[in-house]
Amino acid sequence: MKSVPEPVKPKLFNLLDFDRKGLAAFFVERGEKPFRATQLLKWIYQEEVEDFDLMSNLSKPLRAYLTENCYIATPEIVIEQIASDGVHKWALQTHCGNRVETVFIPEEGRGTLCVSSQIGCALACTFCSTARQGFNRNLTTAEIIGQVIVAQKRLGAEKRITNIVMMGMGEPLLNFDNVVAAMNLMMDDFTFGLSKRRVTISTSGVVPAMYRLTQVCDVSLAVSLHAVTDELRDELVPINKKYPLKELMEACRDNAKIAPRRTITFEYVMLDGVNDSMQDARGLIKLLKTVPSKLNLIPFNPFPNSSYRCSSKETIHRFKTLLNDAGIVTTVRKTRGEDIDAACGQLVGQVEDKSRRHLKLKTVN
């Protein structure tokens, strides 16, 4: 006697996975008008309504369809920490059981949210604690924008998110489509309405994706530089072996053409005796003179079993002065949230390493 196969369950859609363009296409495919996308975005992001039956300007048949086939879900806060300087850090659990970390940095007149794009990271930068955790998978658009939703709800009306930086766990440009869709949502007038100047994506130098980003999404760009020679950068930022400095700087110049007075932010971690000599500073001047740029010097934030030490305050000051005197706008990033491991390079989450690092770099196109 033949067994009767179980009926195939319909795919459920997390509506946070769609930006406005994707959501409009979703509705058109189902015989609805594209303007339903803006209606739904306003309900979810501005009214904070998740019950489809309460979305009164949607037709009853559409509400019934959404109830049956769609849902709205964000990652879940499992740990919350608040540092002595007011920095908030959340460990958020995803559906697969792994965790990512999100950090809110309050400042005078602004609040910056540092958002993760991957569970772990495949790039193996030697000075970064996240790289030690290995790589599990890309975050979905819903899991990326969900970090913003969760953080803003937790912070409440008194602490607003005014800036977002894609500088958390992972390399954003190795999760290109999901990250771009999430950034579109961050800037959409019907969601968070952030200016393109207040949304920044950071990359270690995935050059083909940098050119692609220039074509499809106008956000601020930050580049993790950390060395002025290919020999040292190959060691500190191994993706440099695939996309060396000459190619990286050409991609930066291309991005800077998007708009007048466009500048690229370069990040440079200060490592004692490694990349902090005056010769390194002069190399930076030569390198950055060809690109409209500003430079952030990042004091190295220690983590267990690291072989690096932070450059001295005196060295950092001399380094900064030489660059500023040469016309390179240079600032030293203030270390925030260090007592809860929320500073730059310290985010780890809880990650099961399933990577084949050498394969991950080859998938970029």
Residues serving a catalytic function are: 101, 344
CA distance 20 to 147: 18
Residue tagged 């500003």 (tokens): 294
Backbone angle region of 170, left / alpha / beta, with phi > 0 → left and psi within -120 to 50 → alpha: left
Write phi, then psi, for 81 (nearest 5 degrees). Answer: -130, 145
Strand partners, 166: 201
Q: Residue 69 in contact with residue 12, Cβ under 8 Å?
A: yes
Strand ranges inside 63-141, DSSP E: 70-71, 76-82, 88-93, 99-107, 110-114, 118-120, 135-138
Per DSSP, the residues of 290-346 read TS-EEEEEEEPPP-TT----BPPHHHHHHHHHHHHHTT-EEEEPPP-SGGGT-STT-
* Chain-centre distance for alpha carbon 254: 21
CA distance 98 to 75: 10
Q: Residue 28 in contact with residue 18, Cβ under 8 Å?
A: no
Residue tagged 């084949």 (tokens): 356
Half-sphere exposure of 43 (CA within 13 A, CB side): 19
Reported residue count of the chain is 365
Q: Residue 350 in contact with residue 90, Cβ under 8 Å?
A: no
Is the CA virtual torsion 75, 224, 213, 41 positive or negative? positive
